[in-house]
Structure formats: C-alpha cells, structure tokens
Amino acid sequence: MTPVIEVTGLTKRYGDTVAVDDVSFTIDQDKIYGLLGRNGAGKTTIMSILTAQNFATSGGVRVFGEDPYENARALARLCFVRESQKYPDDALPHHAFRTARLFFPNWNQEIADRLIREFQIPTKTRIKKLSRGQLSAVGVVIGIASRAEVTFFDEPYLGLDAVARQIFYDRLLEDYTEHPRTIILSSHLIDEVSNLIERVLVIDRGRIVMDEDTDAVRDRAANIVGDTAAVDAFVAGRDVIHRESLGRVSSVTVLGTLTPADRDRLAAQGLDVAPVSLQQLFVRITQSAAEKAAASEEGALR
C-alpha cells in the first residue's frame, strides 16, 4: 500500500496546552479511515495541519510525499470539510458549489446535483440563514462531489437527521466504490460508521491510542457477565478495562480475543459473553486511559 499521508512526531502546542503530542501514523491510498476521539482530543488540529490550515509546533507532515504548506499542487488534491466552515456573508449555496467546482479538478456536477436534491438544500437562501443541518449538507455535497484524492470530513453530520445521515453514508459508500479514494472521517457516531471504515485511528488527549483494521478490532474485547466470584476467577490475569457490579452479578470488559477454550470454560461455568461494539470499546479504552492518567498524576503528587 502506498501511503498518501505520513505523519512523524507531530506536536502542536497552544501555550502550555499540548493539543497533539508526538503523533506518528500513515494514511494509505484508497482506504476509508475513521478518526475517533473525544472533544478536544486533537482530531481537528491534526486535520488542519495536514491540510496546511494550521502550523505544527514540531514534527513532520508529508502529503503525497510533499510538504503541504503553500503547495498549491498538493492542496488541490485535498478536500477538507470543516465542521465550522465559514462562508462569505452574502454567499448562496450555489456560490459555494460553483467555487468548489472551479477548485477541485475531479468535481462531478451530476452527483452534486443529486445530493443537493436529496438533502433538499435551498440553493437560493443565503448560507448564513441555513439551519445547522443544511449547512452540514452543503459541506457533505462538496466533500463527495469534489472526488478529491484525499477527503477529510470533520464531524460532517452535525444537525443532520437520521434520514440525511443515511443518505450521506450510502452516497459516500456508493461513490467511493465507483471512484476509490482516501477518506478520513472524524466522528462521534461510531456505531453508525463502524461498518464503513476500513481502519480506525483513535486519538486520546493528543495521542494515538489505537491504529488498526476495524475488522480486527471487532472481537478484540468481550463483556463477561455472571456470578462475581466466577467472573473474577475468569478475568484474573487478563486486561480488564471496565467493571460493573450489581449485587452478586458482575459485568467485566476484558481485552483480548477469546479462544475456543476460553468459550468452553465460560460455558462450563455458566458465564455469559456479550460482544463489545467499536463504540463501547472506544468508550472503555478512553475511560480506562483517563483513569490511569489520573491515578499516575495522583501518585506523582504524593
């Protein structure tokens, strides 16, 4: 696989705050990535730096093997759909689409028209007056119709209702299938996108905590539920990332794929196994990391 983006030791500081902390990863050509992280984890900062809309404090970013700063050739191959995209005050949606058409060499008007129709975007209302969902839809149209070699969608669904979001996912997948390209989708609605993304990058407080194929993560964790003593005996020595108890019943989330022998043992002891979705795994991993960080800080203070 050819990497289209290479990030090495990327760090971004705002005063004393470290937004991105020595991050390294690569993005392969023609894959759909999920960039997941809590608010303030550093997702938007990373995407801004990759698209030359922000400066790195230190570390290197290569896009198509080049430095993206003031590099019109590289930037024309990228499309960044910002969550808070600003448009000129008197701009109408069709101005935005016409500008995008001029800017992106692979722009496809047919798919743009179809999406405008499906999202029911009022093309004669000023963008300023659009609802949050309609504004998001404008960004989605540009992101899909631009057919850029690398497209970043930063929380593109804000304000979109369930029907509009499904249209977005379906059209994205359709267009990607016909015209494979690299897509980086930052999202909080993990369960909605988990089947679309081939690879998952999880960022937590400025660091990458997961960089794996989505399918490989699906059986990465399991919930073990049952009598507390039996659950404890089973999870002893395993990587426990979450624990809940109610009376004598416990539910414990463990990392690691269960072997057939594990499953036989669980069945023999009357313990139940429940799958852990990508979203649950994401929540548990970031929570567990936060708890460990808090614990070590406390330790350091003592």
Partner 1 sequence: MIEEGRALFLQIAESVEDSIIDGSLPVEGQAPSTNELAAFYRINPATAAKGVNMLVDKGVLYKRRGIGMFVAPGARDLLLAERRTVFADRFVEPLLAEARKLGLGPADLARLIADRAALAQPASSTTEGNAP
Contact positions vs partner 1 (CB under 8 A)? 31-32, 169-170, 173-174, 176-177, 180, 195-198, 214-216, 218-219, 222, 274-277
Q: Quick one: 51 or 214, whose CB is closer to partner 1?
A: 214
Q: Quick one: 82 or 218, whose CB is closer to partner 1?
A: 218
**Cα 122 to Cα 143: distance, rounded to the nearest angstrom:** 18
Instruction: For the chain, give the number of residues.
Output: 302
In angstroms, what is the minimal distance from the CB of 28 to partner 1? Answer: 10
**What tokens does 70 get?**
């003031």
In angstroms, what is the minimal distance from the CB of 197 to partner 1? Answer: 7
Q: Quick one: 52 or 276, whose CB is closer to partner 1?
A: 276
In angstroms, what is the minimal distance from the CB of 125 to partner 1? Answer: 32
Q: Is 62 left (phi over 0), alpha (psi -120 to 50) or beta?
A: beta
Residue linked to tokens 């949606």 = 93
User: What does the CA dihedral 99, 101, 103, 107 come to, rounded to 10 degrees?
Assistant: 160
Q: Quick one: 187 or 214, whose CB is closer to partner 1?
A: 214
Consecutive H or E run containing 116: helix 109-119
**What tokens does 270 get?**
């009357």
In angstroms, what is the minimal distance from the CB of 223 to partner 1? Answer: 9
Q: Quick one: 119 or 176, whose CB is closer to partner 1?
A: 176
In angstroms, what is the minimal distance from the CB of 219 to partner 1? Answer: 6
- Burial of 157 (C-beta count, 10 Å sphere; 0-12/13-18/19+): buried
Q: Quick one: 87 or 169, whose CB is closer to partner 1?
A: 169
**Cα 233 to Cα 118: distance, rounded to the nearest angstrom:** 54
In angstroms, what is the minimal distance from the CB of 297 to partner 1? Answer: 34
Q: Decide if 76 contacts 104 (C-beta within 8 A).
A: yes
Longest Cα separation, the chain: 69
